Amino acid sequence: MAEGFRYQQLEAWLLQGIADRRWRQGERLPSIRTLCREQAVSKATVQHALQRLEARGLVEARPKAGYFVAPQPVAVQQPLARARIEAPRPVTASDLLLDIMGRSAAFDLLPDHQGGEIPPGIVALNRSIGRSLRRQSGDDFQYYDQPAGDNGLREQLALHVSRRGWKVDPDQLCVTSGCQHALFLALMACCRRGDVVAVESPGFYGVMQLIEQLDLQIVEVPASSDKGMDIDALEEVLQRWEVTACVVSPAFATPSGAMMPDTAKKRLLDLAEQYDLAVIEDDIYADTAFEAVPDPLKALDADNRVILCSSFSKCLSRDLRLGWVSGARWHARILHLKLVTQLASSRYLQQGVADFMEDGSFAAHLRRQRNQLRERRDRLLALLQAWPEVVRASDPRGGLAVWVELPEHVDTLAIYSDALEQGVVITPGPLFSASGQFRNCLRISFAHPWEKARVGALNRLPALLFGS
Amino acid sequence: MAEGFRYQQLEAWLLQGIADRRWRQGERLPSIRTLCREQAVSKATVQHALQRLEARGLVEARPKAGYFVAPQPVAVQQPLARARIEAPRPVTASDLLLDIMGRSAAFDLLPDHQGGEIPPGIVALNRSIGRSLRRQSGDDFQYYDQPAGDNGLREQLALHVSRRGWKVDPDQLCVTSGCQHALFLALMACCRRGDVVAVESPGFYGVMQLIEQLDLQIVEVPASSDKGMDIDALEEVLQRWEVTACVVSPAFATPSGAMMPDTAKKRLLDLAEQYDLAVIEDDIYADTAFEAVPDPLKALDADNRVILCSSFSKCLSRDLRLGWVSGARWHARILHLKLVTQLASSRYLQQGVADFMEDGSFAAHLRRQRNQLRERRDRLLALLQAWPEVVRASDPRGGLAVWVELPEHVDTLAIYSDALEQGVVITPGPLFSASGQFRNCLRISFAHPWEKARVGALNRLPALLFGS
Give B284-313 as a DSSP string: TTGGG-SSSPPPPGGGG-TTS-EEEEEEST
On the 0-12 / 13-18 / 19+ scale of CB atoms within 10 A, B417 is exposed
* Predicted confidence (pLDDT) per residue in A39-60, tens digit: 999 999 999 999 988 887 778 8
* DSSP at A224: E
On the 0-12 / 13-18 / 19+ scale of CB atoms within 10 A, A211 is buried
Angstrom distance (rounded) from CA A79 to CA A76:
9
Whole-number average pLDDT of chain A: 89
* Predicted confidence (pLDDT) per residue in A333-383, tens digit: 999 999 989 888 999 999 999 999 999 999 999 999 999 999 999 889 988
- Are B324 and B310 in contact, with CB atoms under 8 Å apart? yes
Phi then psi for residue B427, to 5 deg, are -115, 90
Q: Are both B326 and B226 inside the same structural domain?
A: yes
Residue A115 placed within a domain: no
Closest residue in B to A346 (Cα) is B319
Contacting residues for A395 by C-beta, under 8 A, at least 6 apart:
A73, A76, A78, A225, A257, A377, A381, A402
Among A3, A52, A10, A6, smallest CA distance to A30 is for A10
Angstrom distance (rounded) from CA B79 to CA B226:
9
Contacts of A107 in chain B (CB under 8 A): 142
Q: Which residue has better confidence, A298 or B69? A: A298
Give B145-185 as a DSSP string: PPTT--HHHHHHHHHHHHTTT----GGG-EEESSHHHHHHH
What does DSSP say about strands B217-224 and B196-201: parallel, antiparallel, or unpaired?
A: parallel
On the 0-12 / 13-18 / 19+ scale of CB atoms within 10 A, B321 is buried
* pLDDT surpasses 60 at A117: yes
Q: Are both B64 and B164 inside the same structural domain?
A: no
Which CATH number do you get for residue A449?
Answer: 3.90.1150.10
What does DSSP say about strands A174-176 and B228-229: parallel, antiparallel, or unpaired?
A: unpaired
Q: Are both B154 and B299 inside the same structural domain?
A: yes
- CB contact under 8 Å between B138 and A448, yes or no, is no
Q: How many Å from the N-terminal Cα to the C-terminal Cα in chain A?
A: 47
How many Cβ atoms are within 10 Å of B23's Cβ, its own excluded? 18
Residue A435 placed within a domain: yes
pLDDT reported for residue A41: 92
Q: Are both A330 and A432 inside the same structural domain?
A: no
Q: How many Å from the N-terminal Cα to the C-terminal Cα in chain B?
A: 49
Residue A181 placed within a domain: yes
**DSSP-H helix ranges across A191-292:** 205-213, 231-240, 262-274
Of B141, B336, B337, the CB nearest to A318: B141
Cα torsion through A420, A422, A426, A431, rounded to 10: -30
* Predicted confidence (pLDDT) per residue in A65-103, tens digit: 899 988 765 456 788 778 888 888 888 767 777 777 766
Phi then psi for residue B425, to 5 deg, are -100, 115
Closest residue in A to B209 (Cα) is A340
Name A201's bridge partners.
Answer: A222
Mapped onto helix, strand or coil, the DSSP state of residue A264 is helix
Angstrom distance (rounded) from CA B426 to CA B111:
11
Angstrom distance (rounded) from CA B232 to CA B229:
9
Of B115, B318, B339, the CB nearest to A141: B318
Q: Are both A304 and A180 inside the same structural domain?
A: yes
Q: Are both A278 and A344 inside the same structural domain?
A: yes
Note if the bond before B255 is cis, omega within 30 degrees: yes
Q: Compute the Cα dihedral for B151, B155, B156, B161 and give only its sign.
A: positive
Q: Compute the Cα dihedral for A226, A227, A232, A234 and give only its sign.
A: positive
pLDDT reported for residue A138: 79
Contacts of A138 in chain B (CB under 8 A): 114-118
- Are B386 and B21 in contact, with CB atoms under 8 Å apart? yes
- Are B186 and B214 in contact, with CB atoms under 8 Å apart? no
* DSSP at A69: E
Residue B232 placed within a domain: yes
Contacts of A104 in chain B (CB under 8 A): 143-146, 344
Contacts of B117 in chain A (CB under 8 A): 138
Which CATH number do you get for residue B60?
Answer: 1.10.10.10
Angstrom distance (rounded) from CA A188 to CA A182:
10
Give A370-436 as a DSSP string: HHHHHHHHHHHHHHHHTSSS--EE---SSSSEEEEE--TT--HHHHHHHHHHTT---EEGGGG-TT-
On the 0-12 / 13-18 / 19+ scale of CB atoms within 10 A, B242 is exposed
- CB contact under 8 Å between B213 and A340, yes or no, is yes
The Cα of A454 is separated from the nearest Cα of chain B by a number of Å equal to: 13
pLDDT reported for residue B74: 43
Q: Are both A357 and A228 inside the same structural domain?
A: yes
pLDDT reported for residue A105: 59
What amino acid is encoded at B293 in this protein? V
Residue A226 placed within a domain: yes
Question: Which site among B91, B319, B353, B446 would you substitute to test the A interface, given the most A Cβ atoms closer than 10 Å to its Cβ?
Answer: B319
Q: Which of A303, A337, A361 is the last residue of a domain?
A: A361
Half-sphere exposure of B137 (CA within 13 A, CB side): 4
Of B133, B209, B448, the CB nearest to A142: B448
Q: Are both B300 and B217 inside the same structural domain?
A: yes
The Cα of B231 is separated from the nearest Cα of chain A by a number of Å equal to: 28
How would you list the strands of the sheet with B427-428, edge to edge? Answer: B392-393, B401-405, B441-445, B427-428
On the 0-12 / 13-18 / 19+ scale of CB atoms within 10 A, B300 is middle
Mapped onto helix, strand or coil, the DSSP state of residue B76 is coil
Q: Are both A265 and A283 inside the same structural domain?
A: yes
Contacts of B346 in chain A (CB under 8 A): 319-321, 349
Residue B378 placed within a domain: no
Q: Which of B30, B45, B69 is the last residue of a domain?
A: B69
- CB contact under 8 Å between B104 and A141, yes or no, is no
pLDDT reported for residue A329: 98
Counting one residue from chain A and one from chain B, the pairs whose CB atoms sit within 8 A come to 191
pLDDT reported for residue A15: 79
Backbone region of residue A417 per phi and psi (left: phi > 0; alpha: psi in -120 to 50; beta: other values): alpha
What amino acid is encoded at B18 in this protein? I
- Number of domains within chain B: 2
- CB contact under 8 Å between B343 and A133, yes or no, is no
Each residue of A10-43: b (16+ CB within 10 Å) or e? bbeebeeebeeeebebbbebbeeeebbeebebee
Domain that holds residue B38: 3-69
pLDDT reported for residue B320: 92
- CB contact under 8 Å between A341 and B210, yes or no, is yes
Angle between helices A151-162 and A347-358 (to 10 degrees): 40
Of B101, B193, B339, the CB nearest to A339: B101
- CB contact under 8 Å between A144 and B318, yes or no, is yes
- CB contact under 8 Å between B118 and A138, yes or no, is yes
Angstrom distance (rounded) from CA B372 to CA B245:
36
Angstrom distance (rounded) from CA A350 to CA A167:
21
Of A104, A147, A448, the CB nearest to B146: A104
Residue A113 placed within a domain: no
Among A465, A341, A397, smallest CA distance to A71 is for A397
Among A100, A138, A149, A462, smallest CA distance to A320 is for A149
Q: Are both B138 and B248 inside the same structural domain?
A: yes
Contacts of A115 in chain B (CB under 8 A): 138-139
Which residue positions in chain B have pLDDT lower than 50?
1-3, 74
Q: Are both A150 and A203 inside the same structural domain?
A: yes
Angstrom distance (rounded) from CA A421 to CA A123:
35
Q: What share of chain A is helix, strand, coil (3-state, %, to 5)?
A: 45, 15, 40
Give the CA angle between residues B176, B181, B182 to the nearest 5°. Answer: 65
Angstrom distance (rounded) from CA A389 to CA A466:
8
- Are B156 and B285 in contact, with CB atoms under 8 Å apart? no
What amino acid is encoded at A36 in this protein? C
* pLDDT surpasses 60 at A120: yes
Angstrom distance (rounded) from CA B282 to CA B130:
30
pLDDT above 90 covers a percentage of chain A that reads: 61
pLDDT reported for residue B75: 56
Residue A102 placed within a domain: no
Angstrom distance (rounded) from CA B89 to CA B211:
10
- CB contact under 8 Å between A209 and B139, yes or no, is no
Contacts of A111 in chain B (CB under 8 A): 143
Angstrom distance (rounded) from CA A352 to CA A329:
30
* DSSP at A195: -
Contacts of A447 in chain B (CB under 8 A): 142
Of A102, A317, A345, the CB nearest to B146: A102
- CB contact under 8 Å between B447 and A142, yes or no, is yes
Contacting residues for A17 by C-beta, under 8 A, at least 6 apart:
A23
Contacting residues for A60 by C-beta, under 8 A, at least 6 apart:
A54, A67, A68, A69, A70
Among A92, A25, A106, smallest CA distance to A443 is for A106
* DSSP at B99: H
pLDDT reported for residue B26: 83
On the 0-12 / 13-18 / 19+ scale of CB atoms within 10 A, A66 is middle
Angstrom distance (rounded) from CA A24 to CA B89:
69
Each residue of A86-120: b (16+ CB within 10 Å) or e? eebeebebbeebbebbeebbbbbbbbebeebeebe
Of B139, B145, B321, the CB nearest to A344: B321
Q: Which residue has better confidence, B344 or A247? A: A247
Which CATH number do you get for residue B321?
Answer: 3.40.640.10
Each residue of A429-450: b (16+ CB within 10 Å) or e? bbbbbbeebbbbbbbbbbbbbb
Range name among A149-163, A185-199, B366-380, B414-428 with the lowest pLDDT average: B414-428
- CB contact under 8 Å between A141 and B147, yes or no, is no
Angstrom distance (rounded) from CA B267 to CA B235:
10
Q: Are both A340 and A404 inside the same structural domain?
A: no
- CB contact under 8 Å between B142 and A346, yes or no, is no
Range name among A134-138, A178-182, B158-162, B434-438 with the lowest pLDDT average: A134-138
